[in-house]
A and B are shown apart, each in its own frame.
Chain A
């Protein structure tokens, strides 16, 4: 790892100040992605601004028809949360499948979203549930947040403070592991929102999380596993690597969507 300077703000405004202060400054949350990249010398920030000691950046609250989760909330907390388990079980389930226990004890919601790793799980839930991302300066709709591979709508020095997840009628997440990293080779989040809209968000398959329009319209016509499974998804623009080419990923999307739908239907009995 290269050398850097370490700062530990006590509040969000102080953190934003520190990040604005220095060009090469970066926020440090759980460090699971950032420190890994720094160890391999793929990232070399001059200053790390550790969000770990800021009061009020983590925590889970049910607010009306929304679950608000602080950016610094660890994956393990979301997975174990009774509120989340009750309101959006699919989200608790998703958090409980990220990485492994040790990773879940450190990694945070905010870090995962800011990182926008193409194979990360949370983006699928955020887009699938049409959540809003709150930052130190504004609130961003999921649709507008994820831009491209490792690229989000965040401005330089802008901090995610929390995410508001509208409680859906029902939802499910199905993850197909990349065999080595255990990230999502493809992950599909299917939600039936409070208003009855069916949303299908796909992670792992493309450069950034996206909605599978063909499956959504098939499910709007008929909400069944068979309908999801029969929808065609184009391989155009999807990722290819040794663990799966674009065709394979395209093929997996409806297969996994069908499983998610089956889970939802099963839960509804």
Chain B
């Protein structure tokens, strides 16, 4: 197979309509007789609900219905647990709060009205009686016996306790020449897609069919959940994800609103629309990252890690729609590219009265990388060695693959790196950055009284998560080639990358291919777009389908040309006999034949295949990031000066898209390192209810990025791809904090937390000055 398209920087095909403003996002959809919904959201983080009085609200002109949990019947029961992790004390949300609320912002009642303004006005008029209790907000004290409970039936708020280990950590620590103990803390932020969430539902009473549009990363899961919760058969429910303005994990869960809006549409017998406001998004969409880690490492004179012990607390927020996936990922990401013979990782995941925590770009991995990379810097400082060298002596060598880390991933399999060249990316990044030159610059800067620092971080990403994904390919009678998949794109560019794969496999120009996605009517099963998985799994599924269609094309063409299949070749949408180029058949001709010739003995009609690619394991991408910063101790302001990286995500489908994913990821990471924080006060009220307090990275927070690609093919799939969606984000808090600590070394400031907005860094600097 020639690879004409795969690997090329093909401009994105979806851009043409998007730059014209012709994208069709959820809020752009208008149906006749559409009613609008506004929610009444809890003012308190922990309360039992008394009477809900909607009498005044019903008087507002245009109001159609006010509903609370009591009206929902079966549809109001808690959702099923999507990832029932072993030992998980599961708590899932319901379409509306069932008698009690667990965080400020939880939906208590819904108002449907002729206009959104009327619904909003009426929602304000709904009187809710609360019997409040003290909330538990602080992650560390949530487990104490005297702590308030988020869910009365879950003792000590403990959602999950899990221990992962290999070797004998205690013995290794005892005999290690050096030991260090540290505490690290990461606070929470949000995925913050610029398009908020939204749902539209339309129920056809005669056909008993429900159509739902949702701004989601997982239309099939939404469909399945709606069917279950509303007692419908799956094939009666169609879920469409229109153009989606970013997801980043925030849109992977099936949210309460995705059940409530369809339920209302069925109840009212007319279409119903809900579009989230940004303020609602801040309160009620999922968030992520809050963890506290207590680690102890043992190492030798050269800096080689002999043992790593880590006990960490993970904040689940109010509910666990996806079990313990995020903390489990943290644990799996702890090892990174390093050989660590003895590891013990203990997770205590607890519920708190805050918005639900679920995956956001990186999903637990940035925290794991932060911990191990901070540890590497501390080891280097302790031994007076260069931080790059300490990383080098610990790096897994190229001849060690497949490499079993001794830990398990969240699918229950081993965290086993299939292939890689970890020293390769380290060396390439050091060279790209001119590391020696940077160190020399630092000496100069320090002489001049400036606080210039260099940070390094390695990471191994866990993308391409199984178990499967599907993709279909069809050649139409006119020669056009629709490719359909279950996973919508939220900007990753599947419309382009899937077409590139299909074009090569099938032997047709990309211009004939149209990728359709995000509609459950296109393909029966799908898991969705998350965990950097779809390029890997969906791409390989499309490959399988394209190959199957190609085989059939060859069979039929062989009959038509009265030649054996072995003598045929396909190029640019034409089948010809090898060496006889003028004797050829177009795809159109073969496709028409495939429809006509179908008979009792012949082939089944059409040129079409839908295959699923299955995998039992996860692929592993890796890379090294290097950043330089300058810190202003007087204000705590950090300026990132230069950014370099070398990364390896296996075979690259489209370098332009990969670079775009990485740059976008780095911006998210810079947010996590320096700006973004969702803060709750001790009363459980969100302090960051809008972009006026939640600091998003802007153009001036980003800087030129220098990158090199290394391609070590994955051995787990025939295309050799590994996935890249989160790679840009994962190491950034680690690398920036590494650089800040390096910059402030003359002041003896230790960086054990992220993010570090100016105020927080200034406090650390001041505390170090006081201690000195």
Contact = CB atoms under 8 A, between A and B. Distances in A.
Q: Does A touch B (CB under 8 Å) in the complex? A: yes
Contacts of B696: 180
A88 interface: no
Given A179-B695, A248-B762, A243 B279 contact: no
B687 A242 contact: yes
Nearest to B763: A248
Contacts of B687: 241-242
Interface in A238-268: 241-245, 248, 251-252, 255
Given A180-B694, A248-B762, A255-B635, A242 B279 contact: no
A213 interface: no
B693 A180 contact: yes
Contacts of A40: 279
| Range, interface on chain A | 10 to 19
A243 B634 contact: no
Interface in A109-162: none
A181 interface: yes
A245 B443 CA distance: 34
A244 B635 CA distance: 11
Contact of B758 (A1, A179, A181, A241): A179
A252 B635 contact: yes
A1 B688 CA distance: 21
Contact of B688 (A41, A242, A248, A251): A242
Contact of A1 (B117, B759, B762): B117
A223 interface: no
A252 B762 CA distance: 10
B679 A179 contact: no
A251 B687 CA distance: 24
B126 to A, nearest CB: 15
B693 A181 contact: yes
Contact of A242 (B124, B675, B693, B763): B693
A180 B691 contact: yes
Contact of A180 (B117, B121, B124, B695): B695
Given A180-B693, A248-B759, A255 B675 contact: no
Contacts of B279: 40
B43 to A, nearest CB: 15
B757 interface: yes
A176 B635 contact: yes
Interface in B506-558: none
B757 A243 contact: yes
Given A179-B757, A244-B759, A255 B695 contact: no
Nearest to A41: B124
A244 B636 CA distance: 11
Interface string B96-125: 000000000000000000000100010010
A44 to B, nearest CB: 11
Interface in B729-772: 757-759, 762-763
A244 to B, nearest CB: 5
A256 to B, nearest CB: 8
Interface string B119-155: 0010010000000000000000000000000000000
A176 B662 CA distance: 30
A245 B693 contact: no
- Interface centre among A41, A241, A242, by most chain B C-beta atoms within 10 angstroms, is A242
Contacts of B675: 179-180
A255 B694 contact: no
A179 B677 CA distance: 11
B692 interface: yes
Contacts of A2: 121
B692 A243 contact: no
A180 B282 CA distance: 14
Contacts of B688: 180, 242
A226 to B, nearest CB: 13
Interface string A209-242: 0000000000000000000000000000000011
Contacts of A248: 759, 762-763
A245 B759 contact: yes
A41 B121 CA distance: 10
13 contacts: A2-B121, A176-B758, A179-B675, A179-B758, A180-B675, A181-B691, A181-B693, A242-B677, A242-B679, A242-B693, A242-B759, A245-B759, A255-B635
Q: Which 4 A-B pairs have the closest CB atoms?
A: A180-B695, A179-B695, A181-B692, A244-B759
Interface of A: 1-2, 40-41, 176, 179-181, 241-245, 248, 251-252, 255
Given A2-B121, A181-B692, A251-B762, 13 more contacts: A176-B635, A180-B692, A180-B696, A181-B691, A242-B677, A242-B679, A242-B687, A242-B688, A242-B693, A243-B693, A244-B759, A245-B759, A248-B762
